[in-house]
């Protein structure tokens, strides 16, 4: 006999729900709250009576329940900022007779302390999971074509035309450009325009994979190669990309020990798995990219000269945004369309003054920084027009600073008895400039110190030391 919930007394249900998940909310297909328990209401500073029958976004800060009922996609272990805390929430669509009727939300961790304890225990596993999740999301297909590369400036068009011209070749390509210039988009477009377009496109970021994992990630491993090795072994990315394209991003960050192993694979066109004895033939086109000066690294002994020549068959230099400022309005409109789809905000425009501010900025973070600025503006936007007030402070102030310089009278720059020029020591002046550069880099990267260190082309260790020296947190 099949016994269901009807065998449990009704007055038990509320307690069972509270024990399974202390905070819980249920909404209908319009995002209206049908049920919310007292524990959740207490945390939100409201009551069940006040919360019931109201739109969920009016009751729960940063909620996505009304989005889940529209998309039908469950969201597991999502970090949910609320009341100054970071909760971990699960959101599930409720489906009856094949139709979405509402959604259920639960909170897994009820305090920042619980979350931090959990995070500490599985930090290493979480980092590895994040890497594999990112890789799986990219799948094995390239997502961009040459029509996605926006710009009409001479330098950019030259790079784009060269990339189109050589895409049919099987020769290695080296993409040179600063962080955020779109090197990965070029790699996608080259693959999509090649005879390998229907075959795998595999992207690897050499800087993001821990050194001890990089060899097994690229070349795979055999059964029993090391403790906890997957039974039967695992294919490396060269095997996965066989007959297709392998994109090696941030190749300048690859350790020297790995460079020699990569060179052997490129020369012999075969890989040997970690712990394996046999060689496996592979046919892969290599597209490499870096923001570093590889020629200088070769001179310093930090990058193998023979590998550099093997990769540098066709070199394409992608210009930074500050050298193609006429493209900024076009790129901005393309990014606004993309962001509009993401945030369900159509038809967003820029005022003429905003366009001018964007064109006057130097963009050390390039297109990635521009996208961050526009995304930030959309988040604080009420209507459909982005104005100067919606821009980050450092962009709002930049024109004012240039105007104040223009307003200085010539005589004010001339030293006199009443107006002496203030001179600091060279050491103090350089320190001030260095501090400002670090602060600007942190603004561009939204506080991400690792990305800021890359922008400034210094090591993470040096960056953290300088932050400590200048009391930057």
Residues 235, 218: Cα–Cα separation, whole Å: 8
Q: Which pLDDT belongs to residue 263? A: 94
What's the pLDDT score for residue 266? 93
Inform me whether the pLDDT recorded for 388 exceeds 70.
yes
Residue 452 has pLDDT above 60, yes or no: yes
What are φ and ψ of residue 60, in 5° steps? Answer: -110, 120
Q: What are the Cα distances from residue 107, in Å, to 22, 31, 52, 77, 321? A: 7, 18, 18, 9, 43
Q: What is the pTM of this model?
A: 0.57
Per-residue pLDDT band at 126 (split at 50, 70, 90):
low
Residue 228: its pLDDT value, please? 55
Domains identified in the chain and CATH numbers: 17-109 (3.30.450.20), 129-319 (3.40.50.300), 327-409+425-469 (1.10.8.60)
Question: Max CA-CA distance within the chain?
Answer: 102
- The backbone torsions φ and ψ at residue 108, rounded to the nearest 5 degrees and listed phi first, read -80, -45
Please write the tens of the pLDDT for every residue from 9-57: 877 777 777 666 568 999 999 999 999 988 888 888 899 999 999 999 9
Q: What is the pLDDT of residues 273-297, one digit of tens each?
A: 988 888 899 999 999 999 999 999 9
CA-CA distance, 455 to 365, in Å (whole number)? Answer: 7
pLDDT band for 406, please (50, 70, 90 cuts): very low
pLDDT digits over 182-197, tens only? 999 999 999 999 999 9
Distance CA 244, CA 266 (A): 14
Q: Which CA distances in Å does 214 have to 96, 101, 207, 248, 264?
A: 46, 46, 10, 12, 15
pLDDT at 370: 94
Q: Which residue, among 388, 390, 369, 373, has the nearest Cα to 322 in the 3D structure?
A: 369
- Label residue 82 left, alpha or beta by phi (over 0 means left) and psi (-120 to 50 means alpha): beta
pLDDT digits (tens, 9 = 90+) for 333-367: 999 998 888 878 888 999 999 999 999 899 999 99
pLDDT of residue 403: 44
- In whole numbers, what is the pLDDT of the chain averaged over residues? 83
pLDDT value of position 223: 72
Q: What is 76-89 written as a DSSP string? A: EEEEEEETTEEEEE
Report the alpha-carbon distance of residue 352 to residue 226 in Å, rounded: 60
Q: Average pLDDT of 358-386? A: 90
Instruction: Specify the higher pLDDT residue, 127 or 67.
Output: 67
Q: Please write the tens of the pLDDT for every residue from 130-182.
A: 676 565 545 567 688 999 999 999 999 999 999 999 999 999 999 999 988 99
Collapsing DSSP states into helix, strand and coil, what is residue 447? coil
Q: Output the CA torsion 250→256→259→264 (10° steps).
A: 180
């Amino acid at each position: 006999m099949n016994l269901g919930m009807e065998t449990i007394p009704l007055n038990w249900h509320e307690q069972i729900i509270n024990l399974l998940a202390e905070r819980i909310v249920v909404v209908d297909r319009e995002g209206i709250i049908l049920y919310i328990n007292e524990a959740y209401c207490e945390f939100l500073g409201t009551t069940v009576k006040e919360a019931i029958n109201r739109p969920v976004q009016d009751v729960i800060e940063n909620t996505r329940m009304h989005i889940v009922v529209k998309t039908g996609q469950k969201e597991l272990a999502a970090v949910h900022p609320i009341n100054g805390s970071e909760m971990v929430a699960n959101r599930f669509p409720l489906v009856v007779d094949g139709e979405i009727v509402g959604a259920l939300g639960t909170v897994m961790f009820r305090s920042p302390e619980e979350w931090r304890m959990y995070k500490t225990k599985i930090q290493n596993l979480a980092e590895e999971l994040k890497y594999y999740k990112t890789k799986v999301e990219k799948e094995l297909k390239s997502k961009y074509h040459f029509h996605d590369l926006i710009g009409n400036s001479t330098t950019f068009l030259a790079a784009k035309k060269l990339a189109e011209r050589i895409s049919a070749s099987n020769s290695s390509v080296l993409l040179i450009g600063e962080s955020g210039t779109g090197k990965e988009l070029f790699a996608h477009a080259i693959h999509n325009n090649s005879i390998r377009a229907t075959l795998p496109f595999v992207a690897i970021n050499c800087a993001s994979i821990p050194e001890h994992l990089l060899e097994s990630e690229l070349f795979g491993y055999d059964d029993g190669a090391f403790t906890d090795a997957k039974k039967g072994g695992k294919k490396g990315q060269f095997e996965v990309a066989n007959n297709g394209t392998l994109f090696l991003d941030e190749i300048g960050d690859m350790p020297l020990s790995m460079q020699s192993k990569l060179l052997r694979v490129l020369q012999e066109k075969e890989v040997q798995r970690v712990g394996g004895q046999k060689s496996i033939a592979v046919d892969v086109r290599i597209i490499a990219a870096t923001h570093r000066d590889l020629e200088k690294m070769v001179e310093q002994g930090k990058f193998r000269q023979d590998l550099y020549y093997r990769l540098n068959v066709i070199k394409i230099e992608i210009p930074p945004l500050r050298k193609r400022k006429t493209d900024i309005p076009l790129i901005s409109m393309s990014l606004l369309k993309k962001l509009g789809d993401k945030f369900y905000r159509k038809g967003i425009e820029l005022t003429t003054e905003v366009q001018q501010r964007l064109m006057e900025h130097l963009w050390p973070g390039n297109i990635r920084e521009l996208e961050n600025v526009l995304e930030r503006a959309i988040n604080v936007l009420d209507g459909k027009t982005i104005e100067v007030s919606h821009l980050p402070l450092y962009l709002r102030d930049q024109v004012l600073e240039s105007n104040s310089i223009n307003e200085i009278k010539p005589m004010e720059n001339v030293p006199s008895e009443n107006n002496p020029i203030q001179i600091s020591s060279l050491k103090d002046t350089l320190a001030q400039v260095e501090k400002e550069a670090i602060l600007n880099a942190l603004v561009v990267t939204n506080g991400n110190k690792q990305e800021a260190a890359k922008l400034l082309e210094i090591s993470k260790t040096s960056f953290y030391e300088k932050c400590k020296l200048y009391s930057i947190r």
